[in-house]
Structure 1
Amino acid sequence: MRAFTYSRAGTLDEAVRILTGTPGARPVAGGTNLLDLMKADAMRPAHLVDISRLPLDQIEETPDGGLRLGALARNADTAYDDRVQTRYPMLSKAILAGASAQLRNMATNGGNLLQRTRCYYFYDSGTACNKREPGSGCGAITGVNRIHAILGASEHCIATHPSDMCVALAALDATVQVLGPKGGRAIPFAAFHRLPGDTPHLDTTLAADEIITAIDLPPQGFARHSTYLKVRDRASYAFALVSVAAALEIEDGTVRAARLALGGVAHKPWRDEQAEAMLVGKPALAGSFAPAARAILRDAKGFEHNAFKIELAERAILRALAEAAGVEHP
């Protein structure tokens, strides 16, 4: 690990001032991903701003009937909150599918949004990685790419986003609240994470001097008909090969609204509103789901070791939609 300086912020405004005025500064709270990356020399912050003592750990009702998740609320506390489990069960299930109990007890909601890819080449400082060292190349494209992207990749990066929680938040149409030197702003979840394009080292649209303060959940939580399905190599403490957050609003046996988000397949949680629209107005039966599953994967492209993920994703989508609808999956 490289040398760095450290300070603890007493207020949110102080944290923003330090980030704004200190080159190479990054906030740290739970640190469950950042510190690992520093040890691997994949990230090299010159200064860490400890924000763990700031009053951002509450889960509160919002005026519109939704829920505000504090950025410093722990993943475990969020997953086990009665309101989350009752009104947003898909989110609770997604969080509990991620990491280990010990990590969920330490990791924060804001940190979950900012965790970085688990690409082997990103973590190995002796290999080429445009995300770690822009312009160095992407070792995964012609290397071992079994866990890598099948959607939204570019010639510069085929890494995937590792979060489970973020897949559910994408399906729920959450909003990320942030604060910077110019004040606060709200970022729709769909616009928070980026595809790699020509700048794979930029994971999000969060500015370097901004801090996540909260995540807002809308009133519609799809509590009756939703699920999170994670397909992985082993049942515990493994990142998704493919995951699916599926949510349906069903009235008189017909789908009135649908949300579908995929994890483990792209640089960000993957949604396709056109595919979701194909479910609306259809009977909530297993036989109605295949066109939407094919549509969301229409641009999927496999590489040498991960082409199997295309069929795996289609099967996972069909299973998740059937589970959300409460019908038998053939």
Structure 2
Amino acid sequence: MRPFVYNRASDPTTALNMLSGKPNAKFLAGGTNLLDLMKEDVERPAELVDISGLALTTIKTITSGPNQGGVSIGGLGKNTDAANHPLIRQQYPLLTQAILAGASGQIRNMATNGGNLLQRTRCPYFYEVSMPCNKREPGTGCGALEGINRLHAIFGWSEKCVAVYPSDMAVALAALDAIVKVRNVGGQERAIAFADFHRLPGDTPHQDTNLAPGELITAIELPPSKLADKAYYLKVRDRASYAFALLSVAVGLEMAGNRITQVRIAMGGVAHKPWRALTAEKMLVGKEATEANVRLAAEAEMAAAKPLEHNKFKVELGKRSIVLALQTALNGVG
């Protein structure tokens, strides 16, 4: 690990001022990803601004505004607290399931909600500094494109990068149409729709999100939801615990009898960002929840996949996983 300057912020304004004008400085919260990257010499910040003590941890019902009746989750709250909070367990069980599927209990006790959204890819070519990686060092190439790419993207990739985004929590947040609240150094706040928060690689794979430099995640808002009764998070991985998803599916449905009136489907392990299965969603709304309709929707969604040499299995795995997740949610097992 390289030398760095360490400072601790006492409030959000101070934190933002400390980072302002310093392109090689970073916020430090739980540190569960950033410190690992620093030890591997992937990240090389000259300064860390510790924000772990800021009072941005509250989970509460939203009492006004467009998301009134929903829930606000503090950006610096711990993953464990979010997963186990009564408001989340009762109103957004999909989010609880997704958080508990990720990492270990020890890491969830340290990792923050905002930090979870900012974690970087676990692509081995990104972590191996002797290999070319446009995400780590723009312009050097993508080692995974012609390399061992079993774990990599089948949607939305570019010639510059085929890495996938690793968060379980974020896949559920994508399905729940979450809003990310951020603040800049001038004190202005803005809201970013979750679908617009993360980026596909395009020509700039080193830019993971649409955060402006120096912005701080203050909260994540969940709009009111009618998906709680039929929701399920399915994570497929190489081993049963402490492994990132080969592929995951977050689903939530609202029903009128046997007819689907609303459905949300998001996938992990398939793209540079949480992937909303919009084709499958559109096919299922208004349809009866039959096995045939579910399978047709899954087939249609995965028809657009563009697998690489070593991950063609993800196409069939994706079809089966969408079907299994939907059927499980429909049966009320989640």
Q: Taking structure 1 as the reference length, what is the TM-score of the superposition?
A: 0.97
1:126 aligns with 2:122: no
Q: Deviations over 1:231-290 (max 9, x none)?
A: 000110000001000111001110000100000000000013332111011112222112
What is the rounded CA distance, in whole Å, between the counterparts of 2:284 and 2:326 in structure 1?
A: 10
Q: Which of 167, 187, 191 pairs up with 2:196?
A: 191
Residue 143 in structure 1 maps to residue 168 in structure 2: no
Q: What is the CA deviation profile of residues 103-127 of structure 1, one whole-angstrom value per residue up to 9, with x for unaligned ones?
A: 0000000000000000000000000
**Mean alpha-carbon deviation: is it higher for 260-269 or for 39-48?**
39-48
Q: Which residue of 1 aligns with 2:48?
A: 48
Corresponding residue SS for 1:21: coil
CA separation of 1:243/1:60 partners in 2, compared to 1, >3 Å: closer, same or farther?
Answer: same
Residues 138-194 of structure 1: per-residue CA shift (max 9 Å, x gap)? 000111111000110000000000000000000000000000024110000000000
Question: For 1:1-330, what aligned pairs fall within 5 Å after superposition?
Answer: 1-63=1-63, 64-182=68-186, 183-326=188-331
Inter-partner Cα distance in structure 2 for 1:306 and 1:2: 36
Distance 1:178 1:50 in 2: 17
Distance 1:212 1:175 in 2: 11
How far apart, in 2, do the equivalents of 1:35 and 1:27 lie?
11
What displacement does 1:292 show? 1.7
Q: What SS does structure 2 have at the residue aligned with 1:265?
A: coil
Aligned residue type for 2:263: A
Query: Cα distance, 1:208 vs. partner?
Result: 1.8
> Structure 1 residue 327: deviation in Å?
7.8
2:50 partner amino acid:
D
Structure 1, unmatched stretches of 5+, are none
Offset of residue 320 of structure 1: 0.3
Question: What code does the residue aligned with 1:249 have?
Answer: E
Deviation, 1:221, is 5.0
Residues 317, 272 of structure 1: CA spacing in aligned structure 2 closer, same or farther, 3 A cutoff? closer
Q: What CA distance in whole angstroms lies between the structure 1 residues aligned with 2:239 and 2:277?
A: 28
1:298 and 1:214 mapped to 2: Cα distance?
36
Q: Amino acid of the residue matched to residue 221 of structure 2?
A: D
Three-state SS of the structure 2 residue aligned to 1:274 is helix
Identity %: 58
The whole-number CA distance in structure 2 between the counterparts of 1:243 and 1:264 is 6
Contact residue 226 and residue 254 of structure 2 kept, 8 A: no
- Does the C-alpha gap of structure 1 residues 294 and 327 become closer, same or farther in structure 2, counting only changes over 3 Å? farther
Instruction: Report if aligned partners of 1:193, 1:203 keep a CA contact under 8 Å in 2.
Output: yes
Question: Which AA in structure 2 matches 1:105?
Answer: N
Q: TM-score scaled to structure 2, two decimals?
A: 0.96
Deviations 1:67-89 (A, max 9, x none): 00001110011111111111101
Question: Which letter does structure 1 place at the counterpart of 2:87?
Answer: R
Q: Is the contact between residue 286 and residue 321 of structure 1 (CA under 8 Å) also seen in structure 2? A: no
Contact kept, 8 Å, 1:285 with 1:325, in 2: the verdict is no
Residues paired across the two proteins, number: 328
Runs of 4+ in 1 over 6 A off after TM superposition: none
| SS of residue in 1 equivalent to 2:284 | coil
Deviation larger for 296-305 or 260-269: 296-305
